[in-house]
Structure 1
Amino acid sequence: MLLAEDDAMLRMLTEKSLGKLGAQIASFDNGQKALAAFESDQFDLVLTDLMMPMMNGHELTKSLRDLGAKIPIIGVTAAVIGDETDEWLKDGANAFISKPITPEKLQNALDMIGFTPGGAT
């Protein structure tokens, strides 16, 4: 699983929470670093914050789709309703969850898009 989140505390909490479920997580503090990691490794799922320095969630999502990525991209934001999420869906995001990420919220989003992790990395 690829995680892009600029807030160190939220990144750590997400890693801990999802790690308890057995997820292997590569996390980065901005979209630019996450994109570079994506280009050199394989992932089953992307979780990305919207507001990040260097490259935000919109830009990361567009860049991943431009590279031909077909994997689910789940946006993470405090604003899960409105124009922001509509634009993100146009960029190629599959779903959204509100902060903070919990295993339950992630599972609900995965169920909504019909994704079954097969040893998600």
Structure 2
Amino acid sequence: MSEKKINILVCEDDPNLGMLLTQYLEAKDFTVTLCKDGQQGFEAFKQDQFDILILDVMMPIMDGFTLASEIRSTDKDVPIIFLTAKTLKDDVLKGFEVGADDYLTKPFTMEVLVARINAILRRSGVAEENFPKEFPIGSYVFDYEHQRLALNGEERKLTTKENELLMLLCKNKNSVLERNAALNFVWGDDNYFNGRSMDVYIAKLRKYLKSDEKVEIVNVHGKGFKLLVDQ
């Protein structure tokens, strides 16, 4: 049975950015409804069931803050991410006051946006039913739910960060896991010190997986990491 796709409402009045967001998110296997203003977004929200909302703040007819307030009057739980050029502290605070789960200031990278989306969906439990509990990694079995890595009946208990990082590598098996996306998802920030910490955790995971020569975590220069599994 195929997994149900996550349904995202994107409200963005910049046609170029809106199309870019739609194309990128659809390429990442999300279902996307794009609206060009807040009123159109509110009508779309009333007609469909969305798993997460991505709202620009400065929009015609109805701005993002007003739209979020209208939505929160009927739905207290649906996750909301604001996209905005505004960086003033008062604007950020207002965003959270009207019910935002996250706040990204422009310009931002698509990888970071997807990392934030996935983090919110995991925390809210929306993606739980679509999320595998176990991943095969060559001769290993990775039990994400119980934070265990097993080989030939012997199990290793993983720390939370090891568990989250290995899960991201597994979800991107044989393709690149972007460094910034992993940092934002696991550490919540892609600063230098968190980057050094992640390198230590990658080294630990390499050590845990070394018993199977068909499994390898490689560095992809300037991009991130790749979990290679020779089937």
Which category describes the TM-score, using the shorter chain as reference length? 0.7 to 0.9
Pair 1:9 & 2:13 matched: no
Distance 1:23 1:117, change over 3 A: farther
- Distance in 1 between the 2:30 and 2:94 partners? 29
Partner of 1:38: 45
Moved more, 62-71 or 108-117: 108-117
Residue 47 (structure 2) pairs with residue 22 (structure 1)? no
Q: Which 5+ residue runs of structure 1 have no aligned equivalent?
A: none
Structure 2 residue matching 1:25: 3-state secondary structure: strand
Shift of 1:31: 0.8
Q: 2:66 aligns with which of 44, 59, 63?
A: 59
The letter for the 1-side match of 2:58 is: M
Q: Which has the higher contact order (CA 8 A, sep 6+)?
A: 1
Identity rate, percent: 31
Instruction: Please tell me whether the aligned partners of residues 101 and 120 of structure 2 are also in contact (alpha carbons under 8 angstroms).
Output: no
Q: Determine which of 88, 99, 114 is the counterpart of 1:92.
A: 99
Q: 2:20 & 2:63 partners in 1: Cα distance?
A: 20
CA distance in 2, matches of 1:72, 1:63: 14
User: Is the Cα contact below 8 Å between 2:79 and 2:120 reproduced in 1?
Assistant: no
2:185 aligned residue: none
Does the C-alpha gap of structure 1 residues 16 and 32 become closer, same or farther in structure 2, counting only changes over 3 Å? Answer: same
TM-score by length of 1: 0.87
Name the aligned partner's letter for residue 108 of structure 1: A
For residues 86-113 of structure 1, the C-alpha deviation after alignment (integer angstroms, 9 at most, x for no partner) is 0111011111112345442223323267
Q: Is the 8 A contact 1:4 1:34 kept in 2?
A: yes
Structure 2 unaligned blocks of 5 or more: 1-7, 131-231
Q: 1:60 to 1:74 in 2, by over 3 A?
A: same
- The runs of at least 4 consecutive aligned structure 1 residues that moved more than 6 Å come to none
SS at match of 2:25: helix
Larger % of strand: which?
2
CA distance in 2, matches of 1:102, 1:116: 25
TM-score (normalizing by structure 2): 0.48
Structure number, greater radius of gyration: 2
Q: Is the 8 A contact 1:10 1:100 kept in 2?
A: no
Task: Say what the alpha-carbon RMSD is for the aligned residues.
Answer: 2.0
Partners of 1:76 and 1:97 within 8 A in 2: yes
Structure 1 residue 80: deviation in Å? 4.1
Q: Which moved more, 1:93-102 or 1:20-29?
A: 93-102
Q: Are 1:5 and 1:49, in contact at CA under 8 Å, matched by a contact in 2? A: yes
